[in-house]
Amino acid sequence: MSGDGLKTFPEWVVCEHCDSVYQRVALANGQVARCERCLALLYRASSLDTERWLALTIAAAIMFMIANLCPVVRISLQGLHNEATLWQSAAALAHGPAAPIAVPAALSIIVVPFLQIALLGWILVFARRKRRAPGFATAMRMLVVLRPWSMVEVCMLGLLVAIIKLSSFMEVAPGPGIWAMAVLMILITIIANRDIHWLWEMVEVEPPQPESQA
């Protein structure tokens, strides 16, 4: 690998927004480090250990399942009823002239949140034993790429707007999925919108010794 033999500076941090170089300092709980040049956030103190992080990730996985299996909205009009799940909503775009947009819609509200939860869960199960999960580097890089495309909170607002829009000419009731969606929105913000850089350092240990050492 061509990268081998490069000198590294683990105690330094470089601002992503302007390339200013700083010494990493330990922060007290709730503190944040800001760049002096461009005022961007450099890093923040992590108030979440891996145990709690994993627990919240599992909670998010359960909420994700409920939000996807149960209908999110129910409507009725003159004795006729209908309901829709998230998947049906994305699939509804696939019919008609706007069909291609169904793909990014399904990605942003279903596939990307699912991948975020799955990858984080995978990483954290190993990280709590101070180990690197198989595929750790790929999973960490994927989490960085996925983050801007996760739109659970936009979907939540979309559900509220849709309910108000339809309630002017039919009866609309929230389905069980919408409550799970609301909780998922909060959980995914906590677990996925945080600084994951320090996972690299935390699990950056010697490869685990074989346990059957004589």
Q: Interface residues for other proteins in 82-101 (CB under 8 A)?
A: 82-84, 88-93, 95-101
Residue entry with tokens 């949140």: 113
* Residue 20 CB burial class (10 angstroms; 0-12, 13-18, ≥19): middle
Q: Which of 33, 70, 166, 183 binds other proteins (CB under 8 A)?
A: 166
Kindly state the smallest distance separating residue 27's Cβ from other proteins, in Å.
Answer: 16
Task: Report the site for other proteins in 191-210 (rule: CB under 8 A).
Answer: 197, 200, 204
Q: Select 51 or 164, whichever has its Cβ closest to other proteins.
A: 164
Distance spanning both ends of the chain, measured CA to CA: 34
Q: Select 51 or 197, whichever has its Cβ closest to other proteins.
A: 197
- Angle at which helices 112-127 and 50-69 cross, to 10°: 150
d(CA 204, CA 99): 45
Q: Name the segment binding other proteins (CB under 8 A); options: 4-12, 49-57, 60-68, 117-125.
A: 4-12
The answer for 153, left when phi > 0, alpha when psi is -120 to 50, beta otherwise, is: alpha
Kindly state the smallest distance separating residue 211's Cβ from other proteins, in Å.
Answer: 26
The verdict on 174 binding other proteins (CB under 8 A) reads no
Residue 125-164 contact track with other proteins, rule CB under 8 A, x = bound: ------------x--xx--x---xx-x--xx-xxx-xx-x
d(CA 95, CA 9): 53
Residue 20-59 contact track with other proteins, rule CB under 8 A, x = bound: xxx-------------xxxxx-------------------
Q: Which of 29, 47, 78, 213 binds other proteins (CB under 8 A)?
A: 78
The verdict on 115 binding other proteins (CB under 8 A) reads no
Q: Edge to edge, what strands does the sheet with 80-84 contain? A: 80-84, 73-77, 171-174
Please report the beta strands in 45-123, taking only residues with DSSP state E, as ranges in sequence order: 73-77, 80-84
Q: Select 121 or 174, whichever has its Cβ closest to other proteins.
A: 174
Q: Name the segment binding other proteins (CB under 8 A); options: 25-33, 48-56, 105-113, 181-189.
A: 105-113
Tokens of 149: 């495309």
DSSP 111: I
